Amino acid sequence: MPHAPHILVVDDHQQIRDSVTRYLEKNGMRATAAKDAMDMDAKLSRGHFDLLVLDVMMPGESGLSVCQRLSVNKTIPIIMLTALGEETDRIVGLEIGADDYLAKPFNPRELLARIKAVLRRAPQSETVAGELAGKRVAFGHLVLDVDRQVLLGPDGAETLLTYADFKLLSVLLERPRVVLSREQLLDLTQGRAAGPLDRTIDNQISRLRRKVEPDILRPKTIKTIRNGGYCLSVDVEVSD
């Protein structure tokens, strides 16, 4: 399967590593396992991977630390595996750049669905739906350099966006002044439906606001619409 997506599964539990890699391979993907962060780094240095399935709790460097490190120059989507009920780990993971999360114990079919959803959107992360490649998008007091996935401030300061932040901002920029529900945003960015008490979008909006709002306590760029969702409330201008 030379063209099959290649997934790197990082978990210190051998049974989980083995069962997940076998399941992914049975469903048309290539899968490689790593037992910890050091093993992961070695495998990343030797080959190309399309997505990382990363456990939070590992001996040595934790999954959260790994996610934060890799998100500095984000080149690979990350799905975090968290302990059941550890909502703090999920929130922190999303804040530092994870693209999705799944609580243990999990159904391998759901993990496969999450992987496919993230991969479907991964090629679009480099351009805004393909139409704005090579463009700059001005909104509010900022400019998004699409190809570089970098925000430019009025003073020229640059802010590198994580993979997840870029996807969410791209969706909003394509639909200025349109109210989008949490369910719509989750579908557009991750290709899945919201679960009970799912706060993924709220957490991602909060993280993105810290990068685009002049005053985080009084957001004017991304507004919360009561009983509606969120809206990019500024005009958008596209230039070469």
Q: Is residue 129 part of a domain?
A: no
Q: Name the pTM for this structure.
A: 0.56
Q: Is residue 141 part of a domain?
A: yes
Nearest to 221 by CA among 124, 137, 135, 98: 137
Question: Does residue 13 sit in the same domain as residue 112?
Answer: yes
Model confidence over 156-166: pLDDT tens digits?
899 988 878 88
The domain of 209 spans 136-239
Question: Does residue 14 sit in the same domain as residue 52?
Answer: yes
Model confidence over 124-182: pLDDT tens digits?
444 444 566 678 999 999 999 988 889 999 998 999 888 788 889 988 998 999 999 98
Nearest to 66 by CA among 31, 103, 35, 36: 36
